[in-house]
Amino acid sequence: MDTQREIVDRLRLAFRSGITLSEQFRCAQLSKLMSMIKDNEKDILSALHKDLGKPKFEAILAEIDIVINEIHYAINNLPSWMQSDYVNKTLATKLDDCFVRKEPLGVVLIIGTWNYPLQLLLLPMVGAIAAGNCVIIKPSEVSAATDLLIAELIPKYLSQDCYAVVSGGAEETKALLQNRFDHIFYTGSQTVARSILQQASVHLTPVTLELGGKCPCLIYGRVNIAAAARRLAWAKFFNAGQSCVAPDYVLCSQATCDALLPALCETLKDFYGEEPQTSPDFCRIVSQRHWTHLTELLKKSSTKVVMGGQSDQEDKYIAPTVVVDVAKDDVLMEKEIFGPILPIISVESLEKAIDFVNDKEKPLALYVFSDETSVIKTVLQKTSSGGFCSNDGIVHMSLPGLPFGGVGASGWGSYHGRWGFETFSHRRACMLRGWALERLNGLRYPPYRDDKLSWLRWTAAPKTFCSIM
Amino acid sequence: MEWEVIQRAKEAFVSGRSRPLDFRLQQLQALQRMITEREAEITTALKQDINRSQYDTSLLELIGIENEINLALDKLAEWASPRPVEKTLLTVSDEAYIRPEPLGLVLIIGAWNYPWAVTLIPLVGAIAAGNAAVVKPSEISGCSSLLLETLLPRYLDKDLYPVVTGGVAETQELLKHRFDHIFYTGSSVVGKVVMEAASRHLTPVTLELGGKSPCYIDKNCHIRVACRRITWGKFINCGQTCIAPDYILCEPCVQGRVVESIRQTLMEFYGPDPKSSPDYGRMVNQKHFNRVVALMEGYAPVLGGQCDASERYIAPTVLKDVPPHSRLMQEEIFGPVLPIVTVSGLEEAINFVNEREKPLALYIFSNDKKVIKKMIEETTSGGVTVNDVMMHYTLSSLPFGGVGQSGMGSYHGKHTFEQLSHHRACLLRSLAMESVNLSRYPPQDRQRASRARMALKSPLIDLSKKTYVWAVTATVIAVGLLVTLVVILLIAAGLNCTCWYWRGFYN
């Protein structure tokens, strides 16, 4: 078993050999990654079920299909992504070849997390492979079964010289970060992100941080409450609320709340039946530790439980729960909930709701439910968030054309589709000049004269009008 | 004191007044006026700071800033517009786009070598992107720093774009506060400190650092022209340029001609005594003067080598046959000293570059396209100029920035706007057509599941090359068949007409 150092050195050597540079190599590795997922779908579903009690449907949609779609997208688009971008030129550079070359960074580290153990590790990995890097992936030890499976499968399918899995907990991750990487991609919490960024600063390593936060969901104006309740409930209770983009809490007027509650109740019955614990479609909490944290939160909270509230420690089950009478400083409003508990906060006006949102950190996602376009536009223009989705939840991250990432405390950088490729690439500005026009160059050489200056200004201006050439 | 300034800037941003496009354009126009109206004062300040000539001030700083402002004025509406993206089956009737938004309060920390360009060009991008910005010019270029502190509030919004001056202590205090982005230009050493300080607040950074930019001269090239261009780039601003060619790599057979060409060029540029040329600069301060002089110790220059501490003057100096592991080759020179290191050929030159930290710029001089291609493909750097130096900096459509130790992020032109914006992914759906959504809700069954999977597939249309070729071929064949059909019909109709005509004729 190689030490971490040996793994990093091996990958660096492989990168220097230039093997990852060709399009064929990258496509071949991506195809193998796809085969890995398709061939082992059963085992993957089983591991996810073991870790999170993940229903088959959720696992297929949010772990298997999303990665396969991403790989397809990358393979289809890789030739155009890899092509150099030719740029607009000034008069002085008209005869030159000016373009931006996309180059891999080198050896990159991707640290995954436990709520979508496959997606959040392999989706960035697709971008890293497509960009021509060597990659070390570090799955989360909290989703232990998936961690073990990934560590077993990756070396069987992908090139062992270029891609490696390093498993372990906090200590092992800390040790891994002592090595020098060319990019670190981290998904997880703000606390750990701070320490990763600090370690990255020692080597001036660029980072991408996919963090979280409390994603608000505003419901204002005229709204089809039944449809809103369905989409809200789906987004909230998918993966038992353990999604970084799950609507964390709802802001609406009291009247809307009164209409929303029965609609939510009806929806939850439709989704999971009378006893969600017996439904095969409802997930479990990932660990005892997290289960305890959530149930403690609920106990400490001074809110009123209007739906759910039941829990079962052995099963790591917490029922889909809705609470009202939430004070601004309630314990449930301090940090990201990351569980199947939905606080509904009454704020009478849209303006006050927007102030409420803006008083907090910029979230990873922001949701608005309304049939009134003006409401949606107002919220969009007066707030900021990583992503924004109106009249639905989570689905904005399924579009490969949209960058997925946070802003402020919810993260730095983005990925998905071309954005993943760009994240793991260096855009190298290239200007290839000839030997001709040395007289034109003479404008810039000493000894200086005033008349030279005006000519120089003219040739160096960005062309904002039609030029003769 | 700084806390108040920062608070005011934050409040000004929250008020929303930096967001409307008209406001941004108006501020950019005001900045443009400042540069034009105050050129004389800026030139004087730079002369006092770094003995920069008037020509060089325009050439190296002001033209660049003016171009950036003009480009932003022209293109801002386009840059700031939402950018639609491709959709999946599920989202086919929705609006999906990327919305560029301001980040908030940006901190811009400038450097002393081009004090106006490296503070104002990022400021142009910050304003264009709708942010507020605290500008912290370098205290080493003291006159420029004080002038900027006086001028900027006279032209720009005082609350949104304050200038904070001071030295290391003040900068450290500034870095304790929380910003939405920090844009730093300077050394890698301080870059690490800035990034570490930023980590406490999870603040994203752009670091424009430096390093040793290698310059490879192939034996197959116009050595005279190459050396003229290299001499210009190396000794402008007295070598104190982050993308100046730091050292030359060439084969021993070429070294003599290189030295001779540089000597001739120096004579053309600065005359027999560069010290008396009005076009040759000085070291910025005693500390940097001493540093560069110390680097030269123990080496006998083939050109130059003279210095005068009272004027902080170091002659344009060239050293040949410099050992690869000498002190000169350890750190960025940032002065008018040009070492030549000999290598056996292209392979060795490539290995030499790759053994060292990724540089901010790489220069290749060659007539041979294969040599150029090989060197570009087998190395990496922030940017590359082939058969010239530094010129990639002048084209604002090219992103300017480093990689690895030479920096992270990039700017110039639209790239500054992008760097200082948040690209917010937006999906605007309607609550109608709920039936389409039903397949994704529990309770799940096989049928529902496959419908949901189908809806999330992307792309909506297959844009791969193979499909494109088939589409074009199919269209051509279809058009061809259509044309044939029309021709046949016409002929048939014509024949009919003719028949009728002749019938008519004979009848």
Per-residue pLDDT tens over the stretch A379-401:
999 999 999 999 999 999 989 89
B233 at interface of A, judged by CB pairs closer than 8 A: no
Task: Tell me how far apart the alpha carbons of residues A218 and A328 are, in angstroms, rounded to a whole number.
Answer: 15
Q: Is the pLDDT of residue A469 over 50?
A: no
A419 has pLDDT over 60: yes
Distance in angstroms (rounded) separating the CA atoms of residues B404 and A203: 8
* B168: its two tokens: 């290391």
> pLDDT grade, residue A462 (50/70/90)?
low
A95 inside 8 A of chain B by CB: no
Chain B residues inside the 8 Å CB shell of A66: 456
Average pLDDT over chain A, rounded to an integer? 94
Percent of chain A topping pLDDT 70: 98
Q: What pLDDT is attached to residue A436?
A: 81
Could you tell me the two tokens for B154?
Answer: 């006279």
Residues of chain A with C-beta less than 8 angstroms from the C-beta of B99 = 380, 388
Each residue's pLDDT, cut to its tens digit, for chain B (507 residues) gives 778 999 999 999 999 999 999 999 999 999 999 999 999 999 999 989 988 877 777 777 899 999 999 999 999 999 999 999 998 887 888 999 999 999 999 999 999 999 999 999 999 999 999 999 999 999 999 999 999 999 999 999 999 999 999 999 999 999 999 999 999 999 999 999 999 999 999 999 999 999 999 999 999 999 999 999 999 999 999 999 999 999 999 999 999 999 999 999 999 999 999 999 999 999 999 999 999 999 999 999 999 999 999 999 999 999 999 999 999 999 999 999 999 999 999 999 999 999 999 999 999 999 999 999 999 999 999 999 999 999 999 999 999 999 999 999 999 999 999 999 999 999 999 888 777 777 888 887 777 777 777 776 655 555 556 677 888 899 999 999 999 999 999 988 876 655 555 555 445
Of B243, B249, B248, nearest to B359 by C-alpha is B243
Residues from chain A contacting residue B280 (CB–CB below 8 Å)? 446
Interchain proximity B464–A399, CB inside 8 Å: no
Residue A160 has pLDDT above 60, yes or no: yes
Residue A204 has a pLDDT of 97
Phi first, then psi: what are they for A65, rounded to 5°? -60, -40
Confidence of residue A465 (pLDDT cuts 50, 70, 90): very low
Q: Within an 8 Å CB–CB cutoff, is residue B71 touching chain A?
A: yes
**Cβ <8 Å between B387 and A228:** no
Q: Residue A251: pLDDT above 70?
A: yes
pLDDT score of B458? 54
Q: Residue B465: its pLDDT value, please?
A: 63
Provide the ipTM: 0.95
Q: What is the dihedral of CA B136, B137, B138, B139, to 10 degrees?
A: -90
Cβ distance A387 to B427 less than 8 Å, yes or no, reads: yes
Structure token pair of residue A314? 């052995």
- A23 assigned to active site: no
Structure tokens, A419: 């954005």
The one-character DSSP state at B19 is: -
How far apart are the C-alpha atoms of A296 and A309, rounded to whole Å? Answer: 12
Q: Concatenated DSSP letters for B95-113? A: EEEEEEEE-SEEEEE--SS
Cα–Cα dist A432/A438, whole Å: 14
CB atoms within 10 A of CB B453: 18
Instruction: Name the residue among B70, B376, B391 with its Cβ closest to that of A464.
Output: B70
Gyration radius of chain B over CA positions: 30
H helix count then E strand count, chain A? 17, 18
| Chain centre distance of CA A257 | 31
Q: Does the CB of A69 have a partner CB in chain B at under 8 Å?
A: yes
Give me the sign of the Cα torsion angle A71, A73, A75, A77: negative
d(CA A322, CA A260): 11
Alpha helix locations (H) across B156-296? 168-174, 188-199, 223-235, 252-270, 286-296
Which of the pair, B348 or A454, is modelled with greater confidence? B348
Torsion angle of alpha carbons A380, A386, A389, A394, nearest 10°? Answer: -160
Instruction: Give pTM, 2 decimals.
Output: 0.93
Q: Residue B245 has which token pair?
A: 């060619």
Candidates B27, B38, B35; CA nearest to B159 is B27
Q: Is A172 a catalytic residue?
A: no
Which residues numbered 289-348 in B keep a CB inside 8 Å of some CB on A? Answer: none
In angstroms, the CA B316 to CA A343 distance is 71
Angle between helices B223-235 and B252-270 in degrees, nearest 10:
60
Residues A266-316 pLDDT 10s: 999 999 999 999 999 999 999 999 999 999 999 999 999 999 999 999 999
User: What is the predicted pLDDT for the residue at B492?
Assistant: 85
A302 min Cα distance to partner chain B (Å)? 31
Those residues whose C-beta lies under 8 Å from the C-beta of residue A320, and which sit 6 or more positions away, are A233, A236, A237, A268, A272, A276, A282, A307, A308, A340, A342
Cβ of residue A396 closer than 8 Å to a chain B Cβ: yes
Residue A165's DSSP bridge partners are A137
Residue A237 burial (C-beta neighbours within 10 Å; 0-12, 13-18, 19+): buried
Burial of A440 (0-12, 13-18, 19+ CB in 10 A): middle
Q: Given this model, what pLDDT does residue B51 score?
A: 82
DSSP states along A219-281: E-SS--HHHHHHHHHHHHHGGGG--TTSEEEEEE-HHHHHHHHHHHHHHHHHHH-S-GGG-TT
Nearest to A398 by CA among B464, B438, B458, B449: B458
Which residues does chain A have within 8 Å of residue B379's beta carbon, measured at their own beta carbons? none
Give me the pLDDT at residue A447, please: 87
CB contact under 8 A, A428 and B378: no
Q: Which residues contact B415 (CB under 8 A, 6 or more apart)?
A: B125, B399, B400, B401
Q: Decide if B244 contacts B232 (C-beta within 8 A).
A: no
Interchain contact, A460 vs B396, CB within 8 Å: no
**B342-401: pLDDT as tens digits:** 999 999 999 999 999 999 999 999 999 999 999 999 999 999 999 999 999 999 999 999
| C-alpha distance from B401 to closest chain A C-alpha (Å) | 8
Chain A contacts in chain B segment 403-422 (CB below 8 A): 403-405, 407-410, 413, 422
For residue B81, which amino acid is it?
A: S
Q: Pick B395's closest partner by Cβ from A93, A234, A427.
A: A93
Q: Which chain A residues are Cβ-neighbours of B458 within 8 angstroms?
A: 69, 73, 398-401
> Which residues 112-141 of chain A have a CB within 8 Å of chain B?
none
User: Which residues from B are below 8 Å from A389, CB to CB?
Assistant: 426-429
Note the pLDDT of residue A466.
Answer: 40
Among chain B residues, the shortest Cα distance to A21 is held by B377
| DSSP letter for each residue of A293-359 | HHHHHHHH--SEEEE---EETTTTEE--EEEES--TT-GGGTS---SSEEEEEE-SSHHHHHHHHHH
